[in-house]
Amino acid sequence: MLLDVRDLHVEFRTRDGIAKAVNGVTYSVDAGETLAVLGESGSGKSVTAQAVMGILDMPPGRITGGEVLFQGRDLLKLKEEERRKVRGAEMAMIFQDALSALNPVLTVGDQLGEMFVVHRGMSKKDARARAVELMDRVRIPGAKERVRQYPHQFSGGMRQRIMIAMALALEPALIIADEPTTALDVTVQAQVMELLAELRRELNMGLILITHDLGVVADVADRIAVMYAGRIVESSPVHDIYKAPAHPYTRGLLDSIPRLDQKGQELYAIKGLPPSLLNIPPGCAFHPRCPMARDVCRTDVPPLYEVSEERGSACHFWRECLHG
Ligand code: SF4
Ligand code: MG
């Protein structure tokens, strides 16, 4: 296994108390595999990824338990200096907002080249040549000329390609993409996602794709982990989840995807809002919003029940959900 996250807990100290952002997350990704981590904002999906990357803002953030095994080593036990070597070279992250992640006063060639100068000790000239190669690889037309341009001279989609190029530069074993296409319009979204999937295949990397949009994952992900209030509530091969979700929250998410054959009909929306992480409801955290909730849901936290060898659901009534 490339990455094995086990029972991870993360808290944030805030003025109003302790926010329990991640409450026992377990997931894994193999080489060549894409795991989509799905959830509304505040579900803990980004915080989990930041803990894996070692870029959590701490304090006020604190990892209070668990393990992050990467190629067999527990990253949480490494010193910051060793951690820094892993970051970029062995795992890299792609963020939603390329414009703020890129340096506005450096040409994209200098930024891409810097990876090779710093990590590989290359000369500036060789690094520049590698930058052009990378831009070709992410299919930016006219790379030879455009390598001299600044981030603001590129469109949103092209900038996101530059971010991907940057992440790929050192051929990491794992890429984490946090809402990589959210800022783009729909057609460009599909192109960028397709590119990412293709490069993942070519380089046999593991990919964690963080998204709030179940609509974008069907074609690219192998497995899905659905998060709610800092926990994984359903984990499944992607096709099974579309056929029959085993958790009412997943069902709600699926029912709220716009479908072409239902044009004009009002979209289903899960009622209510996700809970505050300062005050997570007892029992099943989803119970205040769940159409299937019963008494036991208000008191007993559902474990991740085994639905099949490859599937888990944290719902006391997963059987009903699956067959309903
Ligand atoms: Fe709904 Fe109860 Fe299942 Fe939670 S455990 S998702 S409240 S039915
Ligand atoms: Mg986020």
pLDDT digits (tens, 9 = 90+) for 197-220: 999 999 999 999 999 888 888 888
* Single pTM value for the model: 0.93
pLDDT of 266 reads 63
Nearest CA to ligand 1 atom 3: 315
Ligand 1 contacts CB of residue 130 (under 6 A): no
* Cβ(55)–Cβ(83) below 8 Å: no
User: The domain spanning residue 250 has which CATH number?
Assistant: 3.40.50.300
Average pLDDT taken over every residue of the chain: 92
Domain limits for position 112: 3-259+267-323
Domain count, the chain: 1
Residue 90 has pLDDT above 90, yes or no: yes
75 closest CA partner among 61, 60, 90: 90
Mutate to test the pocket of ligand 1, among 247, 287, 304, 305 (most ligand atoms within 8 A of CB): 287
Assign 212 to helix, strand or coil: coil
Q: State the distance from the centre of ligand 1 to the C-alpha of 286, rounded, in angstroms.
A: 6
pLDDT tens digits, 236-268 = 999 999 999 999 999 999 888 776 666 656 667
Pairwise CA distance, residues 191 & 169, whole Å: 20
- Helix pair 156-168, 186-203: axis angle to 10 deg: 20
Ligand 1 contacts CB of residue 45 (under 6 A): no
Residue 99 has pLDDT above 80, yes or no: no
Count Cβ atoms within 10 A of the Cβ of residue 212 and give its class: 0-12 exposed, 13-18 middle, 19 or more buried.
Answer: middle
ipTM: 0.96
pLDDT of 265 reads 61
Ligand 1 contacts CB of residue 277 (under 6 A): no
Burial 35-69 (b: 16+ CB within 10 A, else e): bbbbbeebbbbbbbbbbbbbebeeeebebeebbbb
Ligand 1 contacts CB of residue 252 (under 6 A): no
